[in-house]
Amino acid sequence: MSKQEVILCENLEESLGHALEKCPHDKLFILTDEHTDRLCLPALKEVPQLKNAIEIRIGAEDIHKTLDTLASVWMALSEKGATRHSLLINLGGGMVTDLGGFAAATFKRGLAYINIPTTLLAMVDASVGGKTGINFNGLKNEIGAFAPANSVLIETEFLRSLDAHNFISGYAEMLKHGLISDKAHCRTAGIRY
Ligand SMILES: NC(=O)c1ccc[n+]([C@@H]2O[C@H](COP(=O)([O-])OP(=O)(O)OC[C@H]3O[C@@H](n4cnc5c(N)ncnc54)[C@H](O)[C@@H]3O)[C@@H](O)[C@H]2O)c1
């Protein structure tokens, strides 16, 4: 599996600019869900390279991590003229980065993509490592592919609008990593044993 760059952003606009320079593309697409479209996309509106980006919006939450939603993303890419050299930015939680990553991995046999995770869970886990996919036949992540994002840009400012439930869900993931990792990692998460 090819390497992916994970960047802890001090300046999202600048980091995204560098990430885009490293991925020459003919067309640029941004995938959001109905919440990240409203709450997170405005933070990218000033990035000059995104001026002509084509937005694709899907429903929010795991209920939409389906073949139908995936097909709607393929359809949008196809109708808007995406080619093998187009680039997709996934702006959202783990649902968007999983489904968008799989859409990128499969459209025209694979487009480059960048993840900008907007939930804690996606920042600490889902957006990194290249596991992409959708739910199918009532089973979680039943269909998918390993396909790492070219870059993962972590901007913690996005967490300001996250609700407590989703914040705790991400924190639980961090604790799990700590518990199955080592004592030093655990201590950074505030666990003593
Ligand atoms: N690929 C992997 O390695 C991996 C690992 C763990 C989990 N996952 C997958 O990740 C998904 C869960 O991810 P999740 O917990 O991020 O859920 P999610 O993507 O469904 O997001 C949860 C909710 O938060 C909203 N949201 C996102 N960013 C927001 C923000 N900044 N402010 C306010 N609301 C925001 C979303 O619109 C959604 O309503 C599952 O599909 C799971 O299978 C993948």
Q: Residue 95 maps to which CATH number?
A: 3.40.50.1970
Tell me: do 93 and 139 sit in the same domain: yes
Q: Are residues 83 and 51 in the same domain?
A: yes
| Domain match, 14 and 92 both | yes
Query: Span 18-26, mean pLDDT?
Result: 96
Average pLDDT over residues 66-74: 98
Q: Look at residue 2 in the predicted model and tell me its pLDDT.
A: 67
Say whether both 52 and 23 belong to one domain.
yes
The range of the structural domain enclosing residue 48 comes to 5-161
Whether residue 34 is predicted with pLDDT greater than 80 in this model: the reply is yes
Domain count, the chain: 2
Give the distance (Å) from ligand 1 centre to CA of residue 81: 28
Same structural domain for residues 48 and 78?
Answer: yes
pLDDT in the model for residue 183:
78
pLDDT at res. 143: 98
Kindly list the strands in the beta sheet with 87-92, ordered across the sheet, starting from the edge strand earlier in the chain. 5-8, 151-154, 112-117, 87-92, 28-33, 54-58
CA 122 to centroid of ligand 1, rounded, Å: 6
Nearest residue by C-alpha to atom 37 in ligand 1: 35
- Same-domain check for residues 111 and 168: no
